[in-house]
A and B are shown apart, each in its own frame.
Chain A
């Protein structure tokens, strides 16, 4: 029953497994242990995509003058990882895609209080209530529309309007997207739970759901839907890549402090138990510096949040001109109730 070919296959598989495995173990040995190295080195857990932030974090390494290692992942998963690590966390700095994950860490008390000098750089609306995290860059919720399907003047000025009958099957949104959920939370804070629940029911009846903002924007471009509830910067990135005339969608910034114009932020917090506070603080200072802030404006098309820095991106309305609702981002921690509501309505 044992045939030579079977033996050969077995041997091949065994060799195929052993060689690269040994190589991996061997090559790994060299760089081990560096994560815990000297007291001045820094480990950053970044929930922001490597493609977006690696260039600026490379510069950060030079600016702080210490070895910097970056672990990329999903913001929420990294937050969960930090909480599981507890006081033995390897992370010195947590760079989150949104305020929610920072709020969750703040609530568990694992973040260190930031010095007043850092906090003062940024408007109080865009930092943690306990002073243990600070926003670096902002993004605003907008309505993307397909100009072939709807005239600019007919685009709703309030998200309240998209649940009206005339937009039946014409609205795209991403209910599982963190920014969408933050916006719904904002709406709950402004308009109350009952009004928000009714709005969500209307949106469910009218809208089409997508996996994320990009897929929603795709659907607007292709005309699958006429309107899409998205973040502003996806459109500017696409325009930068393809040119404005090749992008089949336009943006409408909502006036009048509409909940649909909520601003959310990406930010950082220092882990108090990591023993890397000193270097982490230098890193925070650098990320709030003009050089880093301009990077966020130019590269990721977000709004820089540090005082005195403005975005030069073409066609982007000035930050001061945005008529966003006045909301304490700290309150966006009540995401759990939002989620319960989204579940109740049947959207997630």
Chain B
């Protein structure tokens, strides 16, 4: 127990200068920004961060060229169309529902597995991470096969929620592990019940993690095409795809994509506001110890049933359906050699993608966690800006630039790896930022006061402290790279296949049974990093 642990959250949630509610004053608070925020980011961080941001902005440059090639009037007509606005509201409605559902699933599972005496908590934690490995189109496919009447809004919301709630679960679980239990104990000793303590002490500290996860979910839903097209729920992304597929026209597609970028920037700004100015690292001496698990008592069965239900619908159901297709399909062909080769290729490109993405995300994440100001906000927004764009748009933008400026790389592996970095930079940035936020900035101050240069502070203090979180981000990026389809199709070296492209080929030929081994392999392989993520810091 460390008596000097302080809560820096409460003060930030209240308007500056507002008095603490009478009778609820808690341990003394320190106000304002975390240490270090006043300084400009050191060049050693700023330069690579700007490189990463420029990288992420490439698709926007392309969109500007394409959207305006017939004049701004044309682009405006496309965007201002009544139908477009209608689709936009449908997209936003779907996003809101999926985000809300993911928050409920993600936070409840994280709390149960990290903080309570849930039987088999560790196993549940790992299992709750596995849905990440299920591509949205596979989830949609299996649900559609089992319950075709769910097609439409309900089906799309269901499929998207079940594949994306780990985006919330993972950071919230990590944040829960990082919270110093001393604060909750203080709240309890001051007369708060367990529920009040959770609401007033625990939940506010989870807010940045949950909001960061919710942002990723929102952008994922906005950009998704696979699930919504299979579920026949018309969204904004559908309008973009229709422009490519039915009218073979890239101009309206680009104009519509710009709207997605604007929306993304608004969402990122909104998320930044929910963060407030709270600090979330321990200050003072000593170390936190793990919290004592909360006994569930008579709620044990209910808690177990809840976890089991989520895992059953999100993991067991798609795997079971694939198994069923394998068992009954006459066209099931087990070409093990091809499967192994494809799996190995997939692992390779996904690993390269995750490595590059993590490397680029590191400086952005550190700056976003440690510094403030308009420039920093812009940097972070730049990293996220393209994240709601459909994969096909990002892919075409890279075709555009590579053909013009990097022709030798075109349709070569390095370009595909770059595409993954452009697509998934925010996933790694979010993980890095959260990890750095939980590392006490005072340690960096100490290192600096001892004469360490910015780069050695980074190398000797920040990165080692944040390493587990950064690794978790890398594993997460690895999983999403493995599942990626549209950019892989356009940018892969000719003749190269990943599990996702094979899956696309087989289902395109109408053969579910032949597709099943590739889908199953994809899920099982992605389960390995998911497993590491679930175990992370336990």
Q: Which residues of A contact B (CB under 8 A)?
A: 1-3, 5-7, 9-10, 12-14, 16-21, 23-25, 27-28, 31-32, 35, 43, 49-52, 69-74, 76-77, 79-81, 83-86, 88, 90, 100-101, 104, 176, 178, 181, 209-211, 214, 219, 224, 234, 237, 241-242, 335-336, 338-339, 343-344, 348
- Given A16-B351, A50-B505, answer yes or no on A100-B248 (Cβ-Cβ < 8 Å): yes
Bound complex: CA A50 to CA B242 (Å):
23
Bound complex: CA A143 to CA B312 (Å):
40
Q: Are B244 and A80 in contact (CB under 8 A)?
A: yes
Count A-B contacts at CB 8 Å: 182
Q: Which residue of B lies closest to A78 (CB)?
A: B490
- Minimal beta-carbon separation of B164 from chain A (angstroms): 21
Q: Which residue of B lies closest to A209 (CB)?
A: B232
Tell me which residues across on chain A come within 8 A of B230, comparing CB atoms.
211
Q: Are B464 and A70 in contact (CB under 8 A)?
A: no
- Given A1-B287, A79-B248, answer yes or no on A9-B468 (Cβ-Cβ < 8 Å): yes
Q: Are A85 and B345 in contact (CB under 8 A)?
A: no
- Given A80-B250, A84-B396, answer yes or no on A51-B354 (Cβ-Cβ < 8 Å): no
Checking B238, B349, B410, B511 against A90 with a beta-carbon cut-off of 8 angstroms, the contacting residue is: B410
Whether B1 is near chain A, meaning CB under 8 Å from some CB there, is no
Bound complex: CA A273 to CA B27 (Å):
74
Q: Which residue of A lies closest to B329 (CB)?
A: A241
Checking A28, A88, A237, A339 against B510 with a beta-carbon cut-off of 8 angstroms, the contacting residue is: A237
Return 8 A-B CB contacts under 8 Å, by A number: A1-B287, A1-B439, A2-B464, A9-B536, A20-B348, A21-B352, A24-B352, A70-B494
Bound complex: CA A87 to CA B162 (Å):
44
Whether B246 is near chain A, meaning CB under 8 Å from some CB there, is yes
Q: Are A80 and B396 in contact (CB under 8 A)?
A: yes
Whether B407 is near chain A, meaning CB under 8 Å from some CB there, is yes
The CB with the most chain A CB atoms within 10 A, among B345, B392, B468, B510, is that of B510
Q: Are A80 and B467 in contact (CB under 8 A)?
A: no
Bound complex: CA A100 to CA B242 (Å):
13
Whether B21 is near chain A, meaning CB under 8 Å from some CB there, is no
Tell me which residues across on chain B come within 8 A of A241, comparing CB atoms.
330-331
Q: A9-B468, A84-B396, A335-B246 are in contact. List 6 more A-B contacts (CB 8 A).
A: A1-B287, A1-B439, A71-B495, A72-B489, A77-B489, A85-B403
Q: Are B490 and A72 in contact (CB under 8 A)?
A: no
- Given A9-B532, A84-B400, answer yes or no on A25-B352 (Cβ-Cβ < 8 Å): yes
Whether B508 is near chain A, meaning CB under 8 Å from some CB there, is yes
- Minimal beta-carbon separation of B424 from chain A (angstroms): 14
Checking A14, A83, A181 against B246 with a beta-carbon cut-off of 8 angstroms, the contacting residue is: A181
Chain B 454-493, CB-CB to A under 8 Å as 1, else 0, gives 0000000000110110111011001000000010011001
Q: Are B351 and A19 in contact (CB under 8 A)?
A: yes
Checking A25, A80, A85, A344 against B413 with a beta-carbon cut-off of 8 angstroms, the contacting residue is: A25
- Minimal beta-carbon separation of B293 from chain A (angstroms): 18
Bound complex: CA A13 to CA B534 (Å):
13
